[in-house]
Amino acid sequence: MWGRRGGTVKLALDVGRSGKSIAAMPDTTLDLRGLRCPLPALKTRKALTRLAAGDQLVVECTDPLSTLDIPNLINQTGDVLEDQQAEPGLFVFRIRKKT
């Protein structure tokens, strides 16, 4: 049920003078499909405590109340809600851990 570290890998290009070219920044995906309020918000809060500053958490929920609960949680924690998508029966949140 907990996220799969490295399931999604984003690449960042370092275009500075250091000569380094590519550094991987893994996302953590939290599959909370089928869970009802308040569990998605509680499990998201717990997952955020385990992340390092700057890491990204992708939360997948099926509970419509998560569209209210997750943004409210992010306002409380001070983290950043980078993206929120709603598809039929699925709600996806991309959260960046505060630095």
Question: Which listed residue (26, 27, 31, 37) is catalytic?
Answer: 37
> What CA–CA distance (Å, rounded) separates 83 from 15?
26
Are 80 and 67 within 8 A, CB to CB? no
> What CA–CA distance (Å, rounded) separates 97 from 81?
9
37 is an active site residue: yes
Cα angle: 91, vertex 94, 97; to 5 degrees: 140
Provide the token pair at 54. 């700057």
Residues catalogued as catalytic: 37
